[in-house]
A = this chain, B = another copy of it.
Amino acid sequence: MIRTLGKKSFLERFLELQKQKNSILCIGLDPALPSQRKKDVIPQKYLLDTDENEARLNFCYDIIDKVSDYCIAVKPNEQYVRGFSKQQHQKLSRYARNAGLLSIYDCKLGDIGETAEACLFWINKWAYDAITLNAQPGNLEQGVAIAHGYDPPIGLLVLTLMSNPEAVKYFKQSMLATKPVFIAIAEDVKRFDADGCVVGATGHVTENDIRSIREVTGQDKVFLIPGIGAQRGDPEKVVREGGKNILVNVGRDVIYSSSPSEKAKEYNEMLNRLKAYASNEKFGGQHT
> Copy number in this complex?
2
By beta carbon, the residue of chain B nearest A33 is: B121
Known contacts A134-B110, A174-B174; decide if A83 and B122 are in contact (CB<8 Å): yes
Question: Is A137 a contact of B162 with CB atoms below 8 Å?
Answer: yes
A74 at interface by CB-CB < 8 Å = no
- Across the interface, which residues of B come within 8 angstroms of A135, CB to CB? 166, 170
Give the residue name and chain of the B residue nearest to A112 (CB): B164
**Which parts of A36-60 form the interface with B (CB within 8 Å)?**
36-37, 40, 52-53
**Chain B residue at smallest Cβ distance from A86:** B83
Question: Which residues of chain B are near A276, meaning CB under 8 Å?
Answer: none
Decide: B166 and A176 in contact? CB cutoff 8 A: no
CB–CB A115/B77 < 8 A: yes
Closest approach, in angstroms, between the C-beta of A42 and any C-beta of chain B? Answer: 12
Give min CB distance, A185 to chain B, whole Å.
8
Report the minimum CB–CB distance from A186 to chain B (whole Å): 13
In the complex, chain A residues 193-230 whose Cβ is within 8 Å of any chain B Cβ: none
Cβ-neighbour of A184 out of B139, B169, B252 (below 8 A): B169
Q: State whether B171 touches A136 (Cβ < 8 A).
A: yes
| Cβ contacts A74-90/B at 8 Å (1 or 0 each) | 00011110111110010
For A32, the chain B residues whose CB sits under 8 A away are: 114, 118
| 11 pairs from A and B in contact (CB 8 Å cutoff) | A30-B115, A52-B86, A79-B118, A108-B110, A112-B164, A137-B170, A139-B164, A169-B176, A174-B174, A174-B175, A181-B181
Which A residues are within 8 Å of any B CB, using their own CB? 30, 32, 36-37, 40, 52-53, 77-80, 82-86, 89, 108-112, 114-119, 121-122, 126, 134-140, 159, 162, 164-167, 169-171, 173-177, 181, 184-185, 252
